[in-house]
Copies of this chain bind each other. A is one copy, B any other.
Amino acid sequence: MSLREEKTEKKKKEIIHSAMQIIAEKGYYRTTIDDIASKLLITKGTVYYYFQDKQDLLFQSHQLLLQNSIENLKHIHTQPLHPREKLKNAMIAHMDHLLDDQYGFELMHKPEQFFSHQQLEIILQLHRDYTELLDQLIVIGIEDGVFQALDSKVTRNIYLGAMNWLTQWYDNKGKKEKQEILDQMAEYLLNILAK
């Protein structure tokens, strides 16, 4: 990658980051291109220089987010840990990521409303990749006899729902430490699979 391309890439990430923050706060429809631009002290036109349109910006943001999450999961897969610990780590990483970047919740809900057909294909593939990795953690645990032999897909969906919902009720001014809550959540959820 040339220096120029790197610079471009860096600028794009800046814009994506700014967009993600504002969309997380205000939601996709309430966020204007102006909001995103003015936060970075640039103009609307500049955003259009780097992205085709609002949808494209959203798409690239979402894609980046998912790719990062997948990388995370892959990394966890490679670690030499007990299946229960691996799954627990995956869940905690998921929630951690979610709370840092509250963004995206809106988009996980009916993504077909936000993306074009082509984009949707890619997004859904990434979703599948992510859930696949999650499923494997469950399946491995079952095969190892660590977990009950439940339906891995239903279980995974329960996990995703419960974890994603965290942004609704997590109170960062609450008494408990964040890590304590995430740990508790993970433990409770692991109860489902416990023998």
Residues of A within 8 A of B (CB): 26-30, 105-106, 108-110, 113, 150-151, 154-155, 157-166, 168-169, 181, 184-185, 188-189, 191-194
Q: Which residues of B contact A163 (CB under 8 A)?
A: 161
- Whether B27 and A150, one on each chain, are in contact in the complex, defined by CB atoms closer than 8 angstroms, is no
Q: Which residues of B contact A109 (CB under 8 A)?
A: 105-106, 109, 168
Contact of A113 among B30, B108, B160, B193 (CB under 8 A): B30
When chains A and B are docked, how far (Å) is the Cα of A181 from the Cα of B26?
A: 34
Q: Which residues of B contact A162 (CB under 8 A)?
A: 157-159, 161-162, 165
Given contacts A29-B30, A189-B192, 9 further A-B contacts (CB under 8 A): A26-B113, A27-B110, A108-B168, A150-B188, A154-B185, A157-B168, A161-B163, A162-B165, A164-B165
When chains A and B are docked, how far (Å) is the Cα of A114 from the Cα of B142?
A: 43
Q: Which residues of B contact A29 (CB under 8 A)?
A: 27-30
What is the distance, in angstroms, from A28's C-beta to the closest C-beta of chain B? 8
When chains A and B are docked, how far (Å) is the Cα of A48 from the Cα of B161?
A: 37
When chains A and B are docked, how far (Å) is the Cα of A154 from the Cα of B160?
A: 15
Q: Which residues of B contact A108 (CB under 8 A)?
A: 168
Q: Which residues of B contact A159 (CB under 8 A)?
A: 162
Also in contact, A154 and B30, with CB within 8 A (given A161-B162, A165-B160, A165-B165) = no
What is the distance, in angstroms, from A158's C-beta to the closest C-beta of chain B? 4
